[in-house]
Structure 1
Amino acid sequence: MPADAPALRVDAHHHFWRYADGYCAWMADAPAILHRDYLPADLAPALKAAGIAGTVVVQAAETPVETDWLLALAREVPWVWGVVGWLDPADAGAVARAEAWRATGQLAGIRLWYQDDADGERLHSVIGAPLLSWAAAHDMPIDLLIRPRHLSAAVALVDASPDVRFVVDHGAKPDIARWPPDAEERLQWWDAMDRLARHRRVCCKLSGMVTEAATDYTPDSLKPYSDALLQLFGPARLLWGSDWPVALSASSYAGWVACTDRLIGHLSAPERAAILGANAIRFYGLTPRH
C-alpha cells in the first residue's frame, strides 16, 4: 500500500440475524430494539457513513446452522471479509464441520460462547479438545465470549494451548456501569487480563463497552476501561468492533464510532490505524474485497 494511501477501517465484530429463526435464545431477555431482523442492508448505510471498508460478522447463536447462513451471506456481500462461526468443542463432528467451513474461504475464526455460564467449568473442559488442535494446525483464531468470572478458566485454556491464537471479546465484559468496581474485583479482573495479555498471541476487542456501561455513559466514563485495555494489550493487539446491532440498545453506530475516536484520539496515527483496521486484517487473515 502506498505510504499516502488511507488506512482501511474494519469493523471486527458485528452480527446479523433473522429474528423469526429463533436461533438466539438469549434475545428473549434482550431490549425490544433487538427483536427484529438485522441484515446487510440495515448495516450498509452506517458503514458507508463511518468509512468502514470491511467487516467480520460474528455468530450470535449457539448453532452451526446460523454459521452456515452467515457463510452464505459472506459470499454475497463484498464488504463482509470474514465470518467467525460457532461450534461446540465437545461435539464429535466439530472438526469435520470446521474443515468444511474453512474450505469455503470465508471462515475467519471460531467463537467459544460461555458468557452465560455460572462458572468456568465448561470452558476449562475445552483444554485438549480436538477442535483446539485443529485450530492450532490451521492457524485459525479462537474468539472467547466470557465474563470476568470465567477469566481464570480462560487463563488456564490459553496456558495449555500454546499454538492457538485467541481474542477476548468485549474485554471480558467487566461491569462498566459500576466502574471502577470495588478494589478486589478490579484487581481480579486486571490480574487475569494481565496474565492473558502476557501471551503475545492473545488479542482483545475494543467493543461491547456501551452495553456494559450505564445508560448515561460518556466517553469519559468509558475511558478508564479503554485505557486499561490499552495498557494491557497495547495498540498492536486491540481490534475495534461495533457489536452492532446489540450496541443499538445503548448507542447508535455513529455514536460509538465518535466515542471510540475520542477514546483513542491521543494515540499516534499509526496506532489508531492499527486498532481501527490493520490489527483485524492481520489477526483474522482478511483479504479486502472491493
Structure 2
Amino acid sequence: MRVLDSHLHLWDPEILHYTWLEGPLAWLFGRTEIEHARLERATTEHSIFVQAETIEDDFLDEVRWVAGLAPAIGVVGIVAGARLDRGTDTTAHLEGLAAEPLVVGVRHNLQGEPDGLAVSAGFVTGAREVAARGWAFDACIRSSQLPEISRLAGAVPELRMVLDHLGKPEVGTADAPAAPTMEWVRDLDDLARHPNVCCKLSGLPAEAGGDWSPAQLEPFLDAAADAFGVERLLWGSDWPVSVIGPPEAGDPYANDDGAPMYQPTARSRWADAVIAWADRRGHDVDAILWRNAEEFYRVGERRTHADAREERPRRGILGWLRGERS
C-alpha cells in the first residue's frame, strides 16, 4: 500500500524558534523520530511537509532545513510558512521561496487571526500571487472561520486551496463523543461548492486530545466525503501534533499519572482507521492515501533517494520517552 502523507510536521527547537511548543511537543521531531513512526501497512511512504509555525523570521530557514532532510525521509513537497498580508514584503518572501524547488504551497496560519483578515484586500492580493506561482494554499482555521474561507475561495477561484483538519470541528473524546453540528456541516458543504478546494482527513485525533476512537470520528469523515467527494479528500497524519494524548495500553514508557505523552502507534492507528472507514464505504483508498495529494500538490514527478548522511545525536522525543528528560 502506498501512502503520500499530505500533512507532516518536523521541528528542531535548537536551530529554529517556536513560541507554541510545550510539554511532549517541545522536543526534536526530525529524521530519527519519523523513522520510528513509519506506517505499518505502507510499502511506499512519502510526505508533504507543512510549516510548523516557527517565528516569521525563520520561515525560509525552516524550508532550507527540511529540504536538507527531504531525500532521507521521503519529503516530496514543502508547504512553506508565509504572511500573505504584508504587501511588498509578501512579494519578496514569495520570490525567496521560489528559489527552493521543493516548495509546492504556502500556509498563513489563520486559526488565531482576527475575523476578516482572509478576505481583506491585502490578503486577497497575496493569495493571488500564490496562485500565479502555481502553488497551493493550506487553510488552517477553526470551524467558525469556514464561511470566511469560502469567501476567499470565491474571491480567488484560481487558487488551489486545501482545508486542514476538516476545519477543526469539535469532536469530543472516545468516552464523550460529539456529533457533527448542523452549522459545521452546512459551512463545510458551502466551502465544498468551490471546485478549487480540497479537504484533508487530518487533525481529528488532536481535536480529541489524543483520546479518540474510529467510531467517534467516522461521522466527520462521512460529512467530508459527502461534501467534497472522495476525489477531493487527502489523508494526513498531522504528525506529531496528533500523536499526543493519554498513554497507550502496553506502552513501557507510560507516565504513572496518566499525563498526556507521545503515543508511538497513533500515526499508524489513524491511517488504519481511515483505511477501514474507506473500505467499508466503498471509497477509493489509493485516491485518499496517495493520488489526490499527488495531484493537488503536483508532486507526481518528484522522487526521493535516501542518503547516507549522519546526524549528530540529539535529544529527541525518543530520549524523552526513555526518561532522558534532565
| Superposition TM-score tier, normalisation by shorter sequence | 0.7 to 0.9
Change (3 A) 1:280 1:64: farther
The 3-state SS of whatever aligns with 1:68 is helix
Which deviates more from structure 2 when the two are superposed, residues 252-261 or residues 196-205? 252-261
Which residue does the alignment assign to 1:58?
Answer: 50
Deviation at 1:96, TM superposition (A): 2.3
Identical positions, percent: 29
Contact 1:120 1:149 in 2 (8 A): no
Deviations 1:248-277 (A, max 9, x none): 1135222222222222222447x1101101
Contact 2:164 2:199 in 1 (8 A): yes
Instruction: Name the amino acid aligned to 1:260.
Output: V
Matched, 1:211 2:206: yes
Among residues 185, 209, 221, which one is paired with 1:190 in the alignment?
185
Instruction: Name the amino acid aligned to 2:139.
Output: L
Which residue does the alignment assign to 1:172?
Answer: 167
Deviations 1:206-260 (A, max 9, x none): 0001111265421001111111111111110011110001011135222222222
Change (3 A) 1:128 1:16: closer
Among residues 35, 38, 61, which one is paired with 2:26 in the alignment?
35
Equivalent-residue separation in structure 2 for 1:208 and 1:67 (angstroms): 25
The 3-state SS of whatever aligns with 2:226 is helix
Change (3 A) 1:48 1:148: closer
Instruction: Name the amino acid aligned to 1:228.
Output: A
Change (3 A) 1:126 1:152: farther
Contact 2:205 2:243 in 1 (8 A): no
Q: CA RMSD in A?
A: 2.1
**Which consecutive residues of structure 1, in runs of 5 or more, have no partner in the other structure?**
1-6
Deviation at 1:12, TM superposition (A): 0.7
Equivalent-residue separation in structure 2 for 1:216 and 1:167 (angstroms): 26
Instruction: Name the amino acid aligned to 2:303.
Output: P
Deviations 1:162-182 (A, max 9, x none): 11110000001001115215x
Change (3 A) 1:24 1:126: farther
Among residues 276, 280, 285, which one is paired with 2:293 in the alignment?
280
Which residue does the alignment assign to 1:3?
Answer: none
Equivalent-residue separation in structure 1 for 2:50 and 2:185 (angstroms): 26
Which residue does the alignment assign to 1:11?
Answer: 5
Which residue does the alignment assign to 1:70?
Answer: 63
Equivalent-residue separation in structure 2 for 1:37 and 1:21 (angstroms): 10
Q: TM-score, normalised by structure 2?
A: 0.78
Listed as ranges, the matches of 1:180-259 within 5 Å are 180=179, 186-213=181-208, 215-250=210-245, 251=263, 252-259=266-273
**Which consecutive segments of 4 or more residues in structure 1 shift more than 6 A?**
none
Contact 1:127 1:161 in 2 (8 A): no
Change (3 A) 1:26 1:232: same
Listed as ranges, the matches of 1:103-182 within 5 Å are 103-117=99-113, 119-125=114-120, 129-177=124-172, 179-180=178-179
Deviation at 1:83, TM superposition (A): 0.6
Deviation at 1:48, TM superposition (A): 5.8
Among residues 301, 304, 316, which one is paired with 1:289 in the alignment?
304
Deviation at 1:75, TM superposition (A): 4.0
Change (3 A) 1:160 1:50: same
Which residue does the alignment assign to 2:321?
Answer: none
Contact 1:171 1:206 in 2 (8 A): yes
Instruction: Name the amino acid aligned to 1:44.
Output: E
Which residue does the alignment assign to 1:47?
Answer: 38
Q: TM-score, normalised by structure 1?
A: 0.87
Deviations 1:40-88 (A, max 9, x none): 2210232263425211111111525244333343244221101101111
Equivalent residue pairs, number: 275
Instruction: Name the amino acid aligned to 1:57.
Output: F
Structure number with larger C-alpha Rg: 2
Instruction: Name the amino acid aligned to 1:46.
Output: A
Matched, 1:260 2:278: no
Equivalent-residue separation in structure 1 for 2:121 and 2:16 (angstroms): 27
